[in-house]
């Protein structure tokens, strides 16, 4: 198998799985329990939070464990909107957010909030001037994706963070789910108030995530219940999931120091090779994350391409995993100004540090053979 669908999910590191199993078996107590089993689990959770904070270069109190990227995005967006609604009901986001943010904003609109959806350039990023212009006296939140999950384009988070420093009442949420270990983000330097991470996107396990919440910020919790996670996220903590996630985060950061160039080399080779294949259009911009390449073959249904790759044991995807079962064109590609046909025929290749040059060569060779022959059949 050649697994090139790492933006959908990654294969968990063996060490992360081992950590999960050990923590599940040896630290099964409820961290809220007063007996030794509970205390032991609580200690592990405290230690895990400290480690996470050190890796993210923030304070442990600023680390909130959640069930994943979707929950982190929902909590940051709804939590801010509800908490500060007496001050204002205007929110800012973009046209190319992941569904877990985008649909949250759609829901908030139905509840009477006003949302500005910033347009994006051909390269899938927001214009700085548009961000500045969109801010109003009643704005409480700007929420943007860092690395786009379909395109690999990178929003200028640090620049936007600097602008927002002049608007201290406007909070800044960043969806960093696809950026972890791939495109660095200094949370403090970028003036970020909330930042979402998801364990299974960096070789941890599904069902664990984090939300960085800058100290001094306030959120309205989504769940009613116990006082776990600084009273912001009720529910018995997933100690094993969090511990495995932090293990995976450390390993990912170490791999990033050594292997980011390797990722860029592989995707550059693919981009170069695709230039020589008739009928292929590159959607990913040249300023991009190291691991994602998105291209279209207008006239070919992307499901046909995905299936054809699949028959060779190569796994890629159409758009984001959560919307790939719908046949409509990609909202993200349409927002970049691509035609309906091009937006409906996007294929995403997404790599991890584990992929090899040999796998990429196999992929390129097969692509060069398969696309012309499929196009010949369609154009007959």
Ligand X SMILES: Cc1ncc(COP(=O)(O)O)c(C=O)c1O
Residues with active-site annotation: 322
Please state, as a whole number, how many other Cβ atoms lie within 10 Å of the Cβ of residue 301.
15
Q: Are 63 and 53 in contact (CB under 8 A)?
A: yes
Q: How far is Cα 36 from Cα 107, in angstroms, rounded to an integer?
A: 44
Q: How far is Cα 280 from Cα 265, in angstroms, rounded to an integer?
A: 20
Among 75, 177, 280, 306, binds ligand X (CB under 6 A): 177
- Nearest to ligand X by Cβ — which residue? 69
Contact between 178 and ligand X by CB under 6 A: the answer reads yes
In the complex, the smallest distance separating the C-beta of residue 178 from ligand X, rounded to whole angstroms, is 5
Q: Among residues 7 and 296, whose Cβ is nearest to ligand X?
A: 7
Mask: binding to ligand X, 202-231, rule CB under 6 A, as x and -?
-------x----------------------
Q: Among residues 42 and 229, whose Cβ is nearest to ligand X?
A: 229
Pairing of strands 281-282, 292-296: antiparallel
270 Cβ neighbours under 8 A, 6+ residues apart: 293, 349, 360, 363, 364
Pairing of strands 63-66, 2-3: unpaired
CB under 6 A: which stretch of 22-30, 39-47, 172-180, 302-310 binds ligand X? 172-180
Q: How far is Cα 375 from Cα 219, in angstroms, rounded to an integer?
A: 52
In the complex, the smallest distance separating the C-beta of residue 358 from ligand X, rounded to whole angstroms, is 27
Mask: binding to ligand X, 61-100, rule CB under 6 A, as x and -?
-------xxx--x------------------------x-x
Q: Are 171 and 82 in contact (CB under 8 A)?
A: no
CB under 6 A: which stretch of 174-182, 214-222, 236-244, 329-337 binds ligand X? 174-182
In the complex, the smallest distance separating the C-beta of residue 168 from ligand X, rounded to whole angstroms, is 26
Q: Among residues 175 and 229, whose Cβ is nearest to ligand X?
A: 175
Mask: binding to ligand X, 144-163, rule CB under 6 A, as x and -?
-x---x--------------
H-run or E-run covering 165: helix 157-165
In the complex, the smallest distance separating the C-beta of residue 43 from ligand X, rounded to whole angstroms, is 27
230 Cβ neighbours under 8 A, 6+ residues apart: 61, 64, 213
Contact between 320 and ligand X by CB under 6 A: the answer reads yes
Q: How far apart are the first and last CA of the chain?
A: 32
In the complex, the smallest distance separating the C-beta of residue 206 from ligand X, rounded to whole angstroms, is 7
The gap from C-alpha 22 to its chain's centroid, in whole angstroms, comes to: 28
| Phi, psi angle pair for 129, to nearest 5° | -60, -35
Which residues between 331 and 360 bind ligand X (CB under 6 A)? none
In the complex, the smallest distance separating the C-beta of residue 174 from ligand X, rounded to whole angstroms, is 10
Which residues between 11 and 70 bind ligand X (CB under 6 A)? 68-70
In the complex, the smallest distance separating the C-beta of residue 305 from ligand X, rounded to whole angstroms, is 20
Among 42, 175, 193, 237, binds ligand X (CB under 6 A): 175
Q: Among residues 178 and 243, whose Cβ is nearest to ligand X?
A: 178
130 Cβ neighbours under 8 A, 6+ residues apart: 118, 119
Q: Among residues 300 and 347, whose Cβ is nearest to ligand X?
A: 347
Q: Among residues 210 and 374, whose Cβ is nearest to ligand X?
A: 210
> What secondary structure does DSSP assign to 73-114, as a single string?
HHHHHHHHHHHTTTT--EEEEETT--HHHHHHHHHHHHTT-E
Binding site for ligand X (CB under 6 A): 68-70, 73, 98, 100, 145, 149, 175, 177-178, 198, 209, 320-321
């Amino acid at each position: 198998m050649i697994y090139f669908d790492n933006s959908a999910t990654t294969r968990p590191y063996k060490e992360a799985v081992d950590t999960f199993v050990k923590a599940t078996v040896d630290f099964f107590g409820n961290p809220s329990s007063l007996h030794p089993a509970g205390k032991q689990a609580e200690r592990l959770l405290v230690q895990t939070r400290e480690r996470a904070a050190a890796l993210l270069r923030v304070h442990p109190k600023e680390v909130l464990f959640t069930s994943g990227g979707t929950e982190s995005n929902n909590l940051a967006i709804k939590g801010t909107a509800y908490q500060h609604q007496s001050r204002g009901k205007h929110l800012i986001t973009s046209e190319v957010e992941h569904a877990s943010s985008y649909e949250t904003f759609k829901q908030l609109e139905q509840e009477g909030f006003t949302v500005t959806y910033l347009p994006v350039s051909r390269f899938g990023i927001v214009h700085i001037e548009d961000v500045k212009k969109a801010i109003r006296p009643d704005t409480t939140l700007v929420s943007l994706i860092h690395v786009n999950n379909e395109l690999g384009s990178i929003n200028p988070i640090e620049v936007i963070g600097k602008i927002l420093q002049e608007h201290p009442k406007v909070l800044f949420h960043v969806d960093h789910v696809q950026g972890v270990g791939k495109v660095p983000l200094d949370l403090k330097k970028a003036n970020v108030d909330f930042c979402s991470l998801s364990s299974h996107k960096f070789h941890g396990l599904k069902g664990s995530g984090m939300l960085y919440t800058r100290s001094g910020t306030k959120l309205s919790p989504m769940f009613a219940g116990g006082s776990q996670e600084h009273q912001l996220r009720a529910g018995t903590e997933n100690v094993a999931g969090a511990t495995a996630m932090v293990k995976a985060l450390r390993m990912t950061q170490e791999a990033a120091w050594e292997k980011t160039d390797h990722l860029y080399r592989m995707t550059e080779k693919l981009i170069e090779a695709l230039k020589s294949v008739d009928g292929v259009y590159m959607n990913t911009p040249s300023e991009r994350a190291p691991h994602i390449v998105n291209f279209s073959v207008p006239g070919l249904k992307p499901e046909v391409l995905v299936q054809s790759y699949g028959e060779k044991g190569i796994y890629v995807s159409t758009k984001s995993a959560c919307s790939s079962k719908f046949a409509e064109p990609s909202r993200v590609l349409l927002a970049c100004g691509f035609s309906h046909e091009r937006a409906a025929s996007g294929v995403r290749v997404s790599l991890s540090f584990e992929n090899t040059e040999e796998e990429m060569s196999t992929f390129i060779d097969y692509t060069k053979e398969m696309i012309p022959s499929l196009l010949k059949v369609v154009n007959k």
